[in-house]
C-alpha cells in the first residue's frame, strides 16, 4: 500500500513539472512592461527629488498643529471606511485559509442501527465509525492558492489606499475648516465696514454730494458681501461635520490649534521619482495584484481537466448489542482511491472565456492606474508651484492694501482724508484679506493632494504601532 501511494505521489509531481509550462496549466503572470518617465514633466521649486521612504513620512507634523496631529491619529483608529477595509482583509485571509486547508482530509462521524429484515442482508445491531474524505487536484490547488494570495495582497493594498485617503481627507478638511472659520471672520468685518460706508453714502446722497448711481454702487457692494456671509458660515458647519464623520462621530465641535494665517505652507516637499512613486502608491499595488489573481483564475479553470485523486474510506466497529460495540471484535475498514477527470464539460468554454475577459480588463485597469498616477502627481507639482505663486502675489497685494490703509489713517488724523475715504481704504484691505485667505486654502489643498498622490504617510501609524 505504501509503495502504491508513493508511486502515485511521484507520478503527480512528475506530471506537474511536465505540464506546468503547458498552456493547459494556465498562463504564468508576467509583470507588464510600462514606459516609466525618468523625471516629472512639471517642475516645482518647492519640491526636491529624493529617495526618501515617503509612505512612512508623517508629513502633516511639519505644520506643528497638535489638533491636526490628534485628528489624524483618531481618524486612523476610528474611521468606518478604514474598518470596513480591515474587514475585507480578514475576509481575504479567511479565503486563503480555506484554500490552504483544503489539502487536509475531512473526517465525518458515522453511527448506524440495523433492524431485522425479511431479506437478511444485515444482521440486527449497531455500527459506528469515521468516514475520512479527501479529494485533491494538485494543479487546481496550486493555482487557487496563487489566486487567494494575490487577492489577500490586493486587499491589504486597498486598505492602505483607504488609510492614505483618510489621512489626506482629514488634513484637507481641517485646513478647510480653519480657512472657512477665518474667512467668516474677515467677511463679517467687510460687511460691517461696508454697512458703515453705505450709511455715510446715504447721508452724502441726501446732501446732494453723490449721485444715485454712486449710492447704488455702495448698496450693491454691501448686499453682495452680506449675501456671501451665510454661505461661508454654512461652509464652516459642513467642514466641521465632515471631520466628525471621518472620526466616526456625530456632528459636534472641532478644536482649533494654530491660527490659519500662521500656518507655514512654503515647506519643501520631498518628491520621489516616477519609478519610486509606483512602489509607494497602494492603488498601483492593488491593481497589479488584481491582475495576478485574474491570471491565476484562468489556471483554476483550466486545471479542471487535470485528474483529481479521491480518497474515501470507512473504519469503525459493529455489534449486535450497543453496549458491546467498542469491546467486541467487530472492527472493520475499507478504502477507495479513484482518479477522476471530466471528459465532457460544456460549461468550460464559457468559464474560460469569462476568465480571459477578466484578465484583459485587469491588465488595462493596471495600466490605467499607472497612467492616472503619473498624471495626478504631475498635475499636483504644477498646481503646487502655481498656487504658491498666486499666494505670494495675493500676499503682496494684501501687504500693499494694509500699507495704504495705514497711510490713510495718518492722513485722516491730519485732516487730509475724509472718514469715507478712510473707510474705502479699510474695505480694500478687507477684500485683499479675503482673497489672500481663499488663496491660502487652495494652496494648502495642493500640498495635501501632492502628498497623497505621492503615496506619503499611510504606513506611518503601522510603523509606530510595531515599534
Tell whether the model's pLDDT for residue 103 goes beyond 50.
yes
Query: 134: pLDDT confidence band, cut at 50, 70 and 90?
Result: low
Of 25-34, 264-273, 368-377, which has the strongest mean pLDDT? 368-377
User: What's the mean pLDDT in 28-57?
Assistant: 88
Q: What does the pLDDT read at residue 16?
A: 46
User: What's the mean pLDDT in 63-86?
Assistant: 96
Q: pLDDT, tens digit, for every residue of 302-321?
A: 877 666 666 555 455 444 44
Tell whether the model's pLDDT for residue 406 goes beyond 80.
yes
84, 156, 289 from 94: Cα distances, Å = 15, 13, 17
Calpha distance 91→81 (Å, rounded): 15
- Mean residue pLDDT across the chain: 84
Strand duo 339-340 + 308-319: pairing:
antiparallel
Q: What is the largest CA-CA distance in the chain?
A: 130
Q: pLDDT, tens digit, for every residue of 420-456?
A: 999 999 999 999 999 999 999 999 999 999 999 999 9
Q: What does the pLDDT read at residue 140?
A: 79
Buried b (16+ CB within 10 A) or exposed e, 342-363: eeeeeeeeebbeebeebbeebb
Query: 338: pLDDT confidence band, cut at 50, 70 and 90?
Result: low
Strand duo 47-49 + 269-271: pairing:
parallel
* Contacts for 264 with CB less than 8 Å, ≥ 6 apart: 62, 63
Q: pLDDT, tens digit, for every residue of 248-259?
A: 999 999 999 989
User: What's the mean pLDDT in 228-241?
Assistant: 97
Query: 351: pLDDT confidence band, cut at 50, 70 and 90?
Result: confident
The more confident residue out of 109 and 301 is: 301
Query: What are the extents of the domains in the chain?
Result: 27-105+137-187+230-307+348-466
Tell whether the model's pLDDT for residue 398 goes beyond 60.
yes
User: What's the mean pLDDT in 372-392?
Assistant: 95
Backbone dihedral angles phi then psi of residue 157, each to the nearest 5 degrees: -65, -40
Q: What does the pLDDT read at residue 324?
A: 45
Strand duo 106-114 + 269-271: pairing:
unpaired
User: What's the mean pLDDT in 22-47?
Assistant: 82
Displacement of CA 26 from its chain's centroid (Å): 31
Calpha distance 86→156 (Å, rounded): 8
Tell whether the model's pLDDT for residue 400 goes beyond 50.
yes
Calpha distance 419→273 (Å, rounded): 58
- How many Cβ atoms are within 10 Å of 276's Cβ, its own excluded? 19
Tell whether the model's pLDDT for residue 296 goes beyond 60.
yes
Displacement of CA 343 from its chain's centroid (Å): 45
* Contacts for 137 with CB less than 8 Å, ≥ 6 apart: 303, 304, 306, 307, 308, 309
- How many Cβ atoms are within 10 Å of 320's Cβ, its own excluded? 13
Q: What does the pLDDT read at residue 332?
A: 45
CA neighbours closer than 13 Å in the CB half-sphere of residue 286: 15
The answer to whether 154 and 398 have CB atoms below 8 angstroms apart is no
Tell whether the model's pLDDT for residue 23 goes beyond 80.
no
Buried b (16+ CB within 10 A) or exposed e, 404-440: bbeebeeebeeeebeebebbbbbbbbbbbbbbbbbbb
Q: pLDDT, tens digit, for every residue of 135-157?
A: 667 777 888 889 999 999 999 99
The answer to whether 464 and 180 have CB atoms below 8 angstroms apart is no
Tell whether the model's pLDDT for residue 412 goes beyond 70.
yes
Query: 265: pLDDT confidence band, cut at 50, 70 and 90?
Result: confident
Rounded to two decimals, what is the model's pTM? Answer: 0.84
Q: What does the pLDDT read at residue 462?
A: 62
pLDDT above 90 as % of the chain: 61
Q: What does the pLDDT read at residue 17?
A: 45
Q: Does domain 27-105+137-187+230-307+348-466 have CATH number 1.20.1600.10?
A: yes
Amino acid at each position: 500500500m505504501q509503495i502504491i501511494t508513493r508511486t502515485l505521489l511521484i507520478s503527480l509531481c512528475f506530471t506537474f513539472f511536465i505540464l506546468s509550462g503547458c498552456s493547459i496549466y494556465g498562463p504564468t503572470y508576467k509583470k507588464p512592461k510600462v514606459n516609466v518617465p525618468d523625471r516629472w514633466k512639471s517642475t516645482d521649486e518647492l519640491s526636491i527629488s529624493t529617495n526618501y521612504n515617503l509612505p512612512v513620512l508623517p508629513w502633516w507634523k511639519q505644520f506643528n498643529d497638535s489638533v491636526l496631529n490628534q485628528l489624524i491619529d483618531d481618524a486612523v483608529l476610528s474611521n468606518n471606511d478604514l474598518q470596513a477595509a480591515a474587514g475585507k482583509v480578514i475576509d481575504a485571509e479567511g479565503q486563503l485559509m480555506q484554500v490552504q486547508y483544503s489539502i487536509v482530509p475531512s473526517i465525518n462521524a458515522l453511527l448506524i442501527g440495523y433492524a431485522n429484515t425479511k431479506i437478511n442482508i444485515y444482521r440486527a445491531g449497531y455500527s459506528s465509525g469515521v468516514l475520512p474524505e479527501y479529494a485533491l487536484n494538485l494543479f487546481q490547488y496550486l493555482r487557487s492558492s496563487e489566486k487567494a494570495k494575490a487577492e489577500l495582497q490586493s486587499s491589504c493594498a486597498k486598505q492602505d489606499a483607504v488609510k492614505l485617503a483618510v489621512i489626506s481627507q482629514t488634513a484637507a478638511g481641517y485646513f478647510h475648516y480653519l480657512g472657512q472659520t477665518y474667512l467668516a471672520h474677515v467677511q463679517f468685518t467687510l460687511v460691517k465696514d461696508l454697512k458703515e460706508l453705505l450709511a455715510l453714502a446715504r447721508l452724502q446722497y441726501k446732501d446732494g454730494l453723490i449721485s444715485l448711481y454712486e449710492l447704488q454702487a455702495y448698496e450693491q457692494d454691501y448686499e453682495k458681501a452680506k449675501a456671501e456671509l451665510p454661505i461661508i458660515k454654512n461652509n464652516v458647519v459642513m467642514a466641521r461635520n465632515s471631520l466628525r464623520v471621518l472620526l466616526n462621530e456625530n456632528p459636534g465641535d472641532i478644536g482649533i490649534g494654530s491660527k490659519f494665517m500662521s500656518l507655514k505652507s512654503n515647506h519643501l516637499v520631498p518628491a520621489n521619482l516616477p519609478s519610486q512613486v509606483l512602489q509607494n502608491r497602494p492603488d498601483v499595488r492593488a491593481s497589479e495584484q488584481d491582475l495576478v489573481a485574474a491570471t491565476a483564475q484562468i489556471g483554476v479553470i483550466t486545471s479542471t481537466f487535470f485528474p483529481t485523486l479521491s480518497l474515501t474510506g470507512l473504519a469503525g466497529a459493529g455489534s449486535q448489542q450497543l453496549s458491546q460495540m467498542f469491546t467486541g471484535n467487530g472492527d472493520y475498514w475499507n478504502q477507495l482511491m479513484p482518479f477522476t477527470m471530466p471528459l465532457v464539460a460544456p460549461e468550460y468554454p464559457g468559464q474560460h472565456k469569462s476568465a480571459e475577459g477578466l484578465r484583459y480588463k485587469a491588465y488595462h485597469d493596471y495600466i490605467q492606474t499607472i497612467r492616472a498616477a503619473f498624471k495626478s502627481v504631475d498635475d499636483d507639482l504644477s498646481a503646487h508651484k502655481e498656487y504658491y505663486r498666486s499666494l505670494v502675489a495675493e500676499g503682496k497685494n494684501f501687504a500693499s492694501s494694509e500699507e495704504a490703509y495705514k497711510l490713510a489713517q495718518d492722513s485722516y488724523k491730519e485732516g487730509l482724508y475724509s472718514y469715507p475715504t478712510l473707510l474705502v481704504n479699510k474695505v480694500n484691505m478687507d477684500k485683499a484679506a479675503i482673497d489672500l485667505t481663499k488663496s491660502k486654502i487652495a494652496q494648502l489643498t495642493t500640498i495635501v493632494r501632492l502628498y497623497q498622490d505621492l503615496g506619503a504617510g499611510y504606513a506611518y501609524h503601522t510603523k509606530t504601532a510595531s515599534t
